Structure formats: C-alpha cells, structure tokens
C-alpha cells in the first residue's frame, strides 16, 4: 500500500465534484446535467441469498489456501523481478483453473530498481551500527559511503521551520513516529517524511536522509516503501532505520554533542521492464455487460514474502468473487477480479487498466472495490457512491453487521489502485480492513504467512463476498460519480 498520493488526489476529486455534475452509466457528463440517480436498494430475496453466502464464506478456507500457495510457490513479487513475472503466470493459471473466463494479462511497463546493500553507522558521539534498509527508489552513495553531521527533525513541517542553511551539507534524520490506528491514518500522516522527505531535505541543501521506519513494530527490523523524488531538487540517498535504532539515535542527540553518521547504499535503477495486470471474469446473467470489479495488487516489496501486502488482498478478491458467483440466484452483473501490477512502486497497473479498457468499458463498471490492508477483519463498510445508491451500502451492512462491521460513511476512496477508476466516475464500495497491527509487518521482512489469522481472512472474504453479490444483484441504472477532469 502506498498512501501519499491519495491525499492530494482526493482533494482534487473533491474540487472536481464541486464543478461537475454526474452522468449515468449510459449517459454523458455535462456541467448542466443534474443527477438523475434512482435509488438502489437490494431486494429482500437478494438479501436472503446474501445471508446464506455470508454463512458459507465463513466456513470457506479458499482464501487461505490461495494465499498459502502463492506465498509458497512464488513468494515475493517486487515489480519487474522474476518473482513478479512468476506471480503473473501463477495468478493467470489459477484464474483459468478456477473457472474464470476472458483471463488475460495485458502488459504493464514498470520501473526496475535494485535495492543492493545498505548500512548506517553512528560515528559520533558514540559509535554504533544500525539496522537499516534503502528506501525504494533511492539512489546509491559513492562506494565509500557518505559521512556527514546529522540534523534531527520530527517531520516535514519541522524541517521547513529550520533557519536557512541549517541542513546544508548534512544528513537529515526524520524522527517522527507512526501512530497505531485501526483505519491506517497514522501511517498516512507519517509516510510523508519518507515519500517527500528526500526532496524536501535536498532542496534545503541536505546530502542524505535517514527516516525512522514508517511502521509500528518495536522489533529491530526496518521498513521500506517508496520515495518520490521531485525533479526540482537534487536526488539524495535515503535510508530507513528500525524503530529501536531510531530511539538509540535520538538518545545520541540527547547527549547535546554533534551526531555524525556514515551511510552507504548500493541501490540503483535499471531500465524499465514488462509486467502485467491479471484480469479474469465470472460472467453475469441479464446485466452481464456491467462489471463489478474486485481487486488487490499482485506486486510486493522485496523484503518479506508478500503475504499481508497484498497477497491477502488478491486471495480475498478471488475467493470472494468465486463464492459470490456460485450463489443462487446467479449474480446479474459480471464479477471481475483484477490483480494490479506494481502498486508499490508507482501504481503502474492501476494507471494502465482504464487506459486499456477504454472509455466505453470503464463506463460499464458499475462498482469497484479493493482489498489492500492485510487479512482483516473488516471493521467498517462505507463507500463513495451517488447519494441515491447509499441504501445498497446499508443493505450490505445489514447482512454483515453481526460480524462486527460498523456502518461507515460515503467519503471513502477505496484502495490506491481504484483511484484512476474513481476519478473516471466509477462508484466505490469500501469494506475497511482493520489495520491496527498491519503496520507491524507491512513492508518488512516479517510479512510472512505465520502472521495471517485464518479467522480474520474468512471474515474478510464473507464481507467482500456479500458486497460483491449485492452490488451485482441490484436493479440499475447505476449512476456515476463526478469525474475529475484532470484525468481525462
């Protein structure tokens, strides 16, 4: 999961919402067209079937089996690596074997970054080495590494508040902690030090940065994730140190003496390579031309085994789609699973998907949802749908509230991979996965299968299956969200 782009894009989408009216699935958007949304509410019969589906899903271990197999037979799937391509082929074959139709793997070009080795040592006042990893996308240092005095700041705002020249020729240490939250918002706030920190520090003359891991683990493991170099600033190397090492570094500052570090990274960029989205359909009945999309991202960071982030999401999507498709009466809309390419290192597959589909097909996407926050459980169901369609989400909630699911609101963005679809008007359903412990293992060596709770996974599949089924069963026409002109 990569959070920072959501914030700015959400702001843009909100602005666009003030300027543009909505259009129906078959209609066109103009500023003068008022919304003609009809109320969408599941029928009593559909709700009864959905309750049966929920109970069946709670007994199914298909998602766990899929996740176990993916983790064992493929493992990490960092964009552009052989593991990534193996993951694409594994998922393609699995969808075919499981009865999906129209299974395809449209090409997605992805960046290729090689982590290499990384080290960080305190040279003064008290020499010690630290557990560290390169932040994704970092450039390398010179062979002998980089030695400089260190300036400690809490976050970007604290960096901006320093006097001019304060970090010139120095390494900036971002010491801010990640708050543990159920909705993942603690990560969303902290992550800007990692994504924007390198260029912000470089713009002020810094020569490197070290970030406290953007994670909640107190283990001595470091947390990777992407950075975003701004073309207006020089590129400088960027490392993340484990939380206990960041604590130790803070104590070195408490001595009041100058702190200096040596950091060394051998990371480098290689030419772009091929990856692919993996797409498969379970065809509907009388509304088969309309699509209910459920996705996750197939790529992972390279440190763990790609289990919670986001093998779990791919497994939830496939298992929930299959359970929903097997229900009687059969889903009316086509259920589509998309395993997106390269979410972590640039959202490449999410950007490619609507471009490959074309406007007409995107216009037939009735609803989209995504699982990308670990194995669950789902603690809230919300969405972003035309207001007249909110009763659909209330209907889903009615079926799953006994599983500990709260009713959310109509301001969710869904997952990062849904952004391009949402900005083109596709309504989003958002079952929210509980992220309380997710950032203990996310993007670390500890993203392994033993961290999965099978009961959480079953509950998540049950909620997603109910959401998919009811979204596929309701009468239409399904209306569109306001579109974001910046994406056209």
CB of 372 vs Zn ion, minimal distance in Å: 4
Binding span for Zn ion by CB under 5 A among 25-33, 114-122, 239-247, 305-313: 305-313
Residue 1 vs 152, nearer CB to Zn ion: 1
CB of 374 vs Zn ion, minimal distance in Å: 9
Residue 1 vs 120, nearer CB to Zn ion: 1
Helix axes 62-73, 454-473, angle to 10 degrees: 110
Q: Alpha-carbon distance 82 to 299, whole Å?
A: 11
CB of 447 vs Zn ion, minimal distance in Å: 10
Residue 350 vs 478, nearer CB to Zn ion: 350
Of 39, 108, 156, the closest CA to residue 395 belongs to 39
CB of 301 vs Zn ion, minimal distance in Å: 9
Per-residue contact flags (x/-) with Zn ion for residues 144 to 183, judged by CB under 5 A: ----------------------------------------
CA neighbours closer than 13 Å in the CB half-sphere of residue 135: 31
CB of 319 vs Zn ion, minimal distance in Å: 18
SS3 state at 339: strand
Residue 372 vs 447, nearer CB to Zn ion: 372
User: How many residues sit close enough to Zn ion to count as binding (CB under 5 A)?
Assistant: 4
Pair 290, 25: CB distance under 8 Å:
yes
Residue 173 vs 464, nearer CB to Zn ion: 464
Binding span for Zn ion by CB under 5 A among 69-77, 302-310, 392-400, 404-412: 302-310
Residue 84 vs 310, nearer CB to Zn ion: 310
Per-residue contact flags (x/-) with Zn ion for residues 343 to 372, judged by CB under 5 A: -----------------------------x
Q: What is the DSSP string of 398-421?
A: HHHGGGTPEE--TT----GGGHHH
Burial per residue of 190-200, b for 16 or more beta-carbon CB atoms within 10 angstroms, e otherwise: bbbbbbbbbbb
Name 26's bridge partners: none
Residue 229 vs 301, nearer CB to Zn ion: 301
CB of 460 vs Zn ion, minimal distance in Å: 15
Binding span for Zn ion by CB under 5 A among 172-180, 281-289, 303-311, 315-323: 303-311
**What's the longest Cα–Cα distance across the chain?**
73
Of these, 299, 302, 310, 375, which contacts Zn ion (CB under 5 A)? 310
Distances (CA, A) of 24 to 21, 361, 362, 397, 422: 10, 14, 12, 25, 14
**Binding status of residue 62 toward Zn ion by CB under 5 A:** no
CB of 1 vs Zn ion, minimal distance in Å: 3
Q: Alpha-carbon distance 179 to 439, whole Å?
A: 10
Q: Which of residues 432-471 bind Zn ion (CB under 5 A)?
A: none
Residue 343 vs 479, nearer CB to Zn ion: 343
Q: What is the DSSP string of 413-475?
A: ---GGGHHHHHTT--EEEEEEP-TTGGGTTTSTT--GGG--HHHHHHHHHHHHHHHHHHHHS-
Q: Which of residues 75-134 bind Zn ion (CB under 5 A)?
A: none
Pair 162, 192: CB distance under 8 Å:
no
Residue 1 vs 325, nearer CB to Zn ion: 1
Which residues fall within 8 angstroms of residue 113, CB to CB, at 6 or more apart?
80, 136, 137, 267, 268, 269, 270, 345
**Binding status of residue 1 toward Zn ion by CB under 5 A:** yes
SS3 state at 430: strand
Tokens of 283: 């065809």
Residue 291 vs 298, nearer CB to Zn ion: 298
Tokens of 384: 């972003």
Angle formed at CA 450 by CA 448 and CA 452, multiple of 5 degrees: 90
Per-residue contact flags (x/-) with Zn ion for residues 282 to 301, judged by CB under 5 A: --------------------
**Binding status of residue 375 toward Zn ion by CB under 5 A:** no
CB of 314 vs Zn ion, minimal distance in Å: 10
SS3 state at 47: helix
SS3 state at 313: helix
Q: What is the DSSP string of 74-138?
A: T----TTSHHHHHHHHHHHHHHHHTT-EEEE--EEEEEEEE---EEEEEEESS-EEE-EEEPBTP
Residue nearest to Zn ion according to CB distances in the complex:
1
Residue 365 vs 443, nearer CB to Zn ion: 443
Of these, 245, 290, 302, 309, which contacts Zn ion (CB under 5 A)? 309
CB of 64 vs Zn ion, minimal distance in Å: 19
Binding span for Zn ion by CB under 5 A among 173-181, 252-260, 309-317, 356-364: 309-317
Residue with tokens 């062979």: 143
CB of 366 vs Zn ion, minimal distance in Å: 24
Which residues fall within 8 angstroms of residue 163, CB to CB, at 6 or more apart?
none
CB of 343 vs Zn ion, minimal distance in Å: 6
DSSP state of 318: H
Residue 302 vs 310, nearer CB to Zn ion: 310
Residue 237 vs 414, nearer CB to Zn ion: 414
Residues engaged in binding Zn ion (CB under 5 A): 1, 309-310, 372
């Amino acid at each position: 999961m990569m959070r920072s782009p959501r914030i700015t894009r959400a702001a843009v989408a909100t602005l666009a919402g003030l300027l543009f009216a909505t259009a129906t699935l078959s209609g066109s958007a103009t500023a003068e067209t008022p919304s003609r949304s009809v109320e969408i509410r599941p029928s009593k019969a559909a709700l009864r079937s959905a309750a049966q589906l929920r109970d069946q899903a709670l007994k199914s271990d298909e998602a766990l089996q899929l996740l176990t197999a993916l983790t064992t037979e493929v493992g990490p799937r960092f964009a552009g690596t052989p593991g990534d391509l193996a993951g694409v082929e594994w998922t393609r074959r699995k969808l075919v074997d499981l009865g999906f139709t129209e299974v395809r793997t449209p090409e997605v070009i992805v960046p290729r970054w090689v982590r290499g080795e990384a080290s960080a040592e305190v040279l003064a006042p008290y020499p010690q080495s630290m557990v560290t990893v390169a932040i994704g996308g970092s450039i390398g240092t010179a062979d002998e590494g980089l030695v400089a005095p260190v300036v400690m700041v809490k976050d970007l705002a604290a960096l901006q508040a320093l006097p001019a020249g304060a970090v010139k020729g120095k390494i900036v240490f971002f010491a801010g902690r990640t708050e543990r939250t159920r909705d993942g918002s603690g990560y969303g706030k902290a992550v800007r030090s990692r994504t924007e920190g390198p260029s912000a520090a470089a713009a002020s003359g810094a020569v490197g940065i070290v970030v406290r891991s953007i994670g909640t683990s107190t283990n001595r493991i470091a947390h990777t994730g992407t950075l975003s170099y701004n073309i207006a600033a020089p590129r400088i190397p960027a490392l993340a140190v484990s939380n206990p090492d960041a604590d130790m570094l803070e104590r070195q500052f408490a001595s009041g003496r100058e702190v200096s570090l040596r950091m060394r990274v051998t990371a480098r960029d290689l030419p772009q390579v091929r990856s692919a989205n993996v797409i498969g359909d379970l065809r509907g009945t009388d509304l088969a031309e309309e699509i209910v999309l459920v996705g996750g991202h197939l790529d992972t960071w390279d440190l763990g085994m790609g289990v919670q982030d986001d093998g779990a999401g791919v497994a939830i999507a496939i298992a929930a789609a299959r359970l929903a498709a097997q229900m009687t009466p059969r889903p009316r809309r086509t259920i589509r699973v998309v395993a997106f390419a390269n979410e972590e290192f640039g959202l490449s597959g999410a950007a490619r998907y609507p471009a490959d589909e074309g406007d007409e097909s995107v216009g037939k996407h009735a609803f989209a949802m995504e699982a990308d926050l670990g194995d669950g459980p789902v603690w809230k169901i919300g969405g972003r749908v035309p207001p007249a369609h909110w009763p659909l989400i209330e209907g889903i909630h009615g079926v799953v509230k006994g599983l500990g699911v709260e009713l959310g609101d109509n301001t969710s963005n869904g997952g990062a991979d849904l952004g391009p679809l949402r900005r083109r008007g596709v309504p989003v359903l958002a079952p929210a996965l509980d992220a309380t412990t997710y950032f203990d293992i996310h993007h670390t060596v500890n993203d392994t299968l033993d961290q999965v709770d099978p009961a959480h996974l079953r509950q998540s599949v049950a909620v997603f299956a109910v959401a998919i089924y009811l979204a596929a069963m309701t009468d239409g026409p399904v209306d569109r969200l306001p579109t974001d002109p910046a994406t056209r």
